[in-house]
Amino acid sequence: MKRIALIGSAGSIGESTLRVVEAAPEKFKIVGLATGRNYQRLFEQAKKHRPRLAAVATEVLEKFTELARTLEMETLAGEEGAVQVALMEEAEVVVIAAAGAASLAPALAAAKAGKTLALANKECLVMAGELIIKAARESGAVILPVDSEHSGIFQALAGRPLTEVRRIILPASGGPFLDTPADQLQRVTPEQALCHPTWSMGKKITIDSATLMNKAFEIIEARWLFGIEPSRIEVLIHPESLLHGAVEFNDGSMVAQISATDMRLPILHALAWPERIDIGLPRLELEMMKKLTFRTLKSERFPAPDLARRALEMGGSAPATLAGADEAAVEAFLEGRLPFSRIVELVAEVLQEHVPEPITSLEKAREADRNARERIRKKIP
């Protein structure tokens, strides 16, 4: 049985992780939970899974502790509480599922402690990839991707050396506006942008999928996860979202990972690795598939992935600046203060103005993130 600490339990990935655990109680056990302000949902999860530790945002600790007084567990608060959950001695796998910079500290702590990280959070590697990978190498920690694309690439690589790889392919659905004329994008509403054609995700990642900024972040993640140069990472438009990742080898052979569009599949792969187990998840019937289509990504329509390559070339704090600027721009769009068509344009402006500095600590990464957010806010009337 694998004992699991889950950071970000109340989010969509966290909830899916708990459903995977519940489907295989003989294989997995939750020993620690951490989330932000949603203390009521955490209480329901704690009643079911009975963790030893549970952490919430500091401002709701008192309410959560009162609610959970009948449960035999220790309650913790804030970032330090999440770090303590990640460092639990009995936790063999730490699932990093919380969105945003909130997962940086527990992810780095788990990497330094030599844990197995099931990593679903994009910001960890985008903002502090060099720090986390260095810590993992020094401690012997294992980092397993939970993003469907990186999980697909990880499975397709199957341990082959990068010297045999010509390129890796990140598929992109294209989001809800793949074929929308460019002159209509300025009038896109948040409600329209949140209607993803194939995936059910949180608001931020859904908007990033519509702008393809999610692929920008995935390029940066892939660079750190697999140690591969950005020039060998290619994004292809694949509207059906059935192929999740592919690797082309030097001899011309290509290995792809194909499965149903269900986030529980890559979560299960990370939790059970190196085993493959059956917990009754949806199966893809090949004979029922109508088509698999692919299109070349046009940079003039979707410039976000090129921003990732630019940020990696700049190095240092540039990727963290990219992440912070996008967070603030998406927030402004969702609040009705910024047209959809201006999200990537503003982020590109902030990146262009940025002078990168070395990321020597989490505080440096957070500082770059904060500064980028502030510069976006100053640009919005």
Sign of CA dihedral 36, 108, 360, 231: negative
Q: Is 114 left (phi over 0), alpha (psi -120 to 50) or beta?
A: left
Return averaged pLDDT per consecutive 10 residues of the chain, 381 residues in all: 96 95 98 96 97 97 94 94 98 93 94 97 93 97 96 95 96 86 84 76 85 95 96 94 95 96 96 96 86 90 95 96 96 94 96 96 95 95 78
CB distance 99 to 204 below 8 Å: yes
Q: What domains, with CATH codes, occur in the chain?
A: 2-145 (3.40.50.720), 150-262+287-379 (1.10.1740.10)
Q: How far is CA 349 from CA 169, 244, 259, in A?
A: 27, 31, 38
Closest to 110 (Cα-Cα) out of 71, 143, 145:
143
Give pTM, 2 decimals.
Answer: 0.92
Confidence at residue 199, expressed as pLDDT on a 0 to 100 scale: 65
Which residues touch 357 (CB under 8 Å, ≥6 apart)?
316, 317, 364, 368
Q: State how far the Cα of 83 lies from the Cα of 14, in Å rounded to an integer.
A: 16
Q: Tell how many helices (H) and how many strands (E) occur in the chain.
A: 15, 12
